[in-house]
Structure 1
């Protein structure tokens, strides 16, 4: 029972976070009326290559990724 409650808390926190983020940082974009699941699917679930060096972390998104500008705005908001 406690594991289900913890999962419910995580889900509630994630949903509240996406609603807050959409209202604060994505209010002047095309994502203003999108659902939290749409934001997760189109912006967070992206295949990327992460390269970690001593001085920096590089994230390489695919060249054919259609939401590149939105992803940059979203990552800067975080």
Structure 2
């Protein structure tokens, strides 16, 4: 298994969806289900972190009167 902190958002989300599916369909023993749940919780936390990081980088493009981009404003300044 890939270390969660090295996963992209998309990789973690794909594994999280597969984990949820396995848990929903009862495809695991009790011990496996507990491990799946723990990994799923870690994957969810990782996805949340990646989303927060992306939101922090979002910038608003400022436009001049003629509609041409003039720069950016950090999302915190919105």
Q: Do the two structures share a fold, i.e. TM-score over 0.5?
A: no
Give the number of the structure whose alpha-carbon radius of gyration is greater: 2
TM-score by length of 1: 0.32
TM-score by length of 2: 0.32
More helix per residue: 1 or 2?
A: 2
